[in-house]
Amino acid sequence: MNYREEKEGNDLIDKKETPLGYRRLEGRKALVTGAARGIGKAIVTRLAQEGADIAVNYRSSEEAADNVAKYAENLGANTWTYQADIGNYQEVFEMKNAVEKYFGKIDLLVNNAGINMDKLFMKMDQESWNKVIQVNLNGVFNCTHTFLDHLMVSKQGRIINITSIVGQMGNIGQVNYAASKAGVIGMTKALAKELSRNNITVNAIAPGFIETDMVAGIPDKVKEKILLQIPLRRFGAPEEIAKAAVFLASEDAAYITGHVLNVNGGMYI
């Protein structure tokens, strides 16, 4: 759905917050998966501020996705929202057809969507394992494989995968999540080598503990213990991940590929 017609009278954002001057992603088109809230929402906002048009993917939160799109429209972006479970290849294929028809071919793919189903491994059932792998790892394959022809004809093809510090250092109760995110890191490095001949850069961002709904659900006593492990002694903000994504999408990072950018306050070095 396009929201440009609804911009007049919309008070979602103070116009004075819109950055002035050169916008690094002017004329670029991006698809951000899992963009209805948290890190995905912040990435959409920052991409819009930098001049990109954005296709906003969501799985279930239609109202939240609509609000993200309206916010981006008020920043001057053209947006399109589409519901799809990225773990389902057929739904991703149908999303691609809709994006091509109503939005156009993308230059930038941000594989952000992810879920967690935390349990100690001895109590983890096959469904909890399969579902996390299906979304977090297979979803990156589904979107990248499906939209690859778009990126190959773009003069500035970019793939940015959102992995996690947990995929680097592991975490109790998150064997499935850690495995999926470590897999994304491996995919990033291998794809970077394969797609370099097509002038497509492939990079990943590994957030630490970021102030999202996932972290909000952690008990306060556990949060205190986590903070003691972070040298900067605070959780990150979604906007800090978004700024990293804009950098990797821009020409400033044109000679960077196969890299995992840690944004974790020094928790994992």
* Residues with catalytic function: 177
Beta strands in the chain (DSSP E): 29-32, 53-58, 79-83, 108-111, 158-162, 201-207, 260-263
Any idea what the Cα angle at residue 180 is, between residues 220 and 214, rounded to 5°?
25
Instruction: Check residue 51 and give left, alpha or beta (phi > 0: left; psi -120 to 50: alpha).
Output: left
Beta strands in 168-264 (DSSP E): 201-207, 260-263
User: Which residue, among 197, 206, 35, 1, has the nearest Cα to 109 in the 3D structure?
Assistant: 35
Beta strands in 184-243 (DSSP E): 201-207
DSSP-based helix, strand, coil % in the chain, nearest 5: 50, 15, 40
Joined tokens for residue 203: 């990079």
Type and span of the H or E element at 118: none
Alpha helices in 27-112 (DSSP H): 38-49, 62-74, 89-102
Listing from the earlier edge strand, what are the strands of the sheet with 201-207? 79-83, 53-58, 29-32, 108-111, 158-162, 201-207, 260-263
Neighbours of 234 (CB within 10 A): 11
